[in-house]
Amino acid sequence: MGIFSFFKKEKHINHLVRAYRMVYGCSDMTAIHCLRHNYTEDELRMIRNGLEIIEKGGDIYATLMRNPPFKEERNEVFAIEMTKR
C-alpha cells in the first residue's frame, strides 16, 4: 500500500467513524480499529457513498439501525471494545 492509498483510506475512515459508533455504540478507537483492519479502501468508499445518499434522504439514525452497512456483528465489536480497555 502506497502512502497516497493510506491517506485515501484514512480519509474514508474519518468520515465513517461517527456512523460506525452510532450503529455499534463503541468508542472512537474501536471504530477506527475495525474500519482500518476489516475493510478495503473500495469497501469504505462504497459505504461512504451509500451513507451520503441516506443522509440526503432523511433520518440516518433509523436507517442505520435497521440496515447497517457494516459487516461486523455487535458481539464482535463488543469483544474488541472489551480488549481495548
Q: Tens digit of pLDDT per residue, the chain (85 long)?
A: 678 888 889 999 999 999 889 888 888 999 999 999 999 999 999 999 988 888 887 777 777 777 777 877 777 777 777 776 6
The pLDDT value recorded for residue 1 is 62
The pLDDT value recorded for residue 54 is 80
- The model's pTM is 0.80
What does the longest C-alpha to C-alpha distance in the chain come to? Answer: 37
The count of structural domains within the chain is 1
